[in-house]
């Protein structure tokens, strides 16, 4: 297997500057440590599957072009100790063969649920696979999480990343239109994981892309009920027994969904009969604003994660359905061992006229930006 290490242009530039300096000048003491490593670890359906490590000198993000996957995030605690803070498997190739609840995956074409796996668009009714009871979930039997994306590494003086492209052909998983999608995943010098999506289509279709990483800021030692959460959300969308939105947009005041001031997750889980799998309403009107969606703090480790996005909502999921799952490093993941913050359009939006439209037409461009900003409080 081939293994390469690619230094950024910024690091090379600093070396050149140092060599050109006069002997009497002070040497440059500050170094830029941005680096990306790439290793081919498997082949799937005739395409190479890579494991990438993005490193900025203080934290690392591990990715794969299989499923547009966030494999691991190794982040420092208040003592400077690095630990993985995501639920994952032991290796990237395992994701090809071992079923898992969308750990770190890119979900699409349409993330979340579509009621009865059915929608009508321009007078035509489309029937999708029912992969979650009577409903369609996260793109179907073989959604974007099971596709090999075409990768390209890149770097400059402030980021290292991987650009990935995937063409979803007309009729794939029942969706109309040839959809050309581009995904960028990059790590900045100041500990920000940026995820960006763009897509175009040649036929009217529906689209809702997101990343489905399960976080555990405590280093995945136990459940996440000791985490503190704050959402900048005044409303949420209630759901029925099958987790399909009812169509109502409800004020969070007086409910367990009111995280407008910091709350300990375990207290809110107890108040909401066991957990959350709901869309928190972050915007009522579409805009390009990168809004502060969520702050999560783990008091014991000191790790803090601030999430920003330009989308309409965020699916807040507290790992309610994880049970006795054999995860990485011999650990057994159980209920509430991770949480997801899936920036996206509101679920089942195509079947609710009062929800933001998920429709993408020829000549339009779908754009979606997410930032996870990591820091430490001592």
Please tell me whether the peptide bond between 53 and the residue prior to it is cis, using omega within 30 degrees of 0: no
Q: Distance (Å, rounded) from C-alpha 337 to C-alpha 335?
A: 6
The pairing of strands 235-237 and 210-212 is unpaired
- Is there a catalytic annotation at residue 342? yes
* Options 62, 83, 173, 342, the catalytic residue: 342
Sign of CA dihedral 288, 263, 69, 12: positive
CB 168 within 8 A of CB 107: no
- Is there a catalytic annotation at residue 292? no
* Options 212, 227, 298, 336, the catalytic residue: 212
Measuring CA to CA, which residue among 188, 370, 192 is closest to residue 292? 370
Name residue 44's beta-bridge partners.
Answer: 47
Q: How far is CA 65 from the centre of its chain?
A: 14
CB 293 within 8 A of CB 368: no
Torsions phi, psi of 37, nearest 5? -115, 140
So which residues are the catalytic ones?
212, 342
């Amino acid at each position: 297997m081939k293994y390469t290490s690619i230094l950024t242009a910024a690091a090379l530039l600093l070396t050149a500057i140092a060599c050109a300096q006069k002997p009497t000048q002070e040497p440059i003491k500050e170094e830029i440590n941005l680096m990306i490593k790439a290793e081919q670890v498997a082949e799937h359906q005739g395409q190479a599957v890579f494991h990438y490590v993005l490193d900025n000198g203080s934290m690392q993000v591990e990715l794969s072009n299989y499923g547009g996957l966030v494999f691991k995030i190794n982040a420092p605690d208040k003592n400077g100790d690095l630990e993985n803070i995501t639920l994952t498997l032991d290796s990237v190739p395992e994701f090809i063969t071992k079923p898992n609840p969308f750990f770190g995956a890119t979900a699409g074409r349409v993330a979340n649920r579509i009621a009865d796996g059915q929608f009508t668009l321009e007078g035509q009714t489309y029937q999708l696979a029912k992969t979650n009871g009577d409903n369609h979930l996260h793109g179907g039997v073989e959604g974007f999480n099971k596709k090999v994306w075409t990768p390209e590494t890149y770097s400059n003086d402030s980021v290292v990343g991987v650009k990935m492209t995937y063409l979803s052909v007309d009729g794939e998983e029942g969706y109309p239109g040839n959809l050309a999608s581009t995904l960028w995943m990059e790590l900045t010098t100041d500990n920000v994981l940026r995820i960006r999506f763009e897509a175009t289509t040649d036929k009217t279709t529906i689209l809702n892309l997101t990343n489905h990483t399960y976080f555990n800021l405590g280093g995945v030692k136990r459940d996440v009920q000791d985490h503190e959460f704050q959402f900048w959300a005044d409303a949420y969308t209630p759901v029925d027994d099958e987790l399909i939105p009812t169509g109502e947009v409800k004020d969070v005041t007086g409910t367990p969904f009111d995280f407008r001031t910091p709350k300990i997750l375990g207290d809110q889980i107890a108040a909401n009969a066991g957990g959350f799998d709901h869309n928190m309403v972050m915007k009522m009107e579409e805009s390009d604003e990168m809004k502060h969606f969520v702050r999560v703090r783990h008091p014991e480790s000191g790790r803090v994660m601030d999430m920003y996005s330009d989308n309409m909502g965020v699916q807040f999921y507290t790992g309610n359905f994880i049970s006795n799952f054999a995860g990485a490093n011999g650990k057994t993941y159980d209920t509430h061992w991770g949480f997801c913050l899936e920036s996206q359009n509101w679920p089942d939006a195509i079947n609710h006229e009062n929800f933001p439209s998920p429709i993408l037409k020829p000549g339009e461009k779908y754009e979606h930006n997410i930032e996870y900003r990591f820091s430490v409080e001592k």
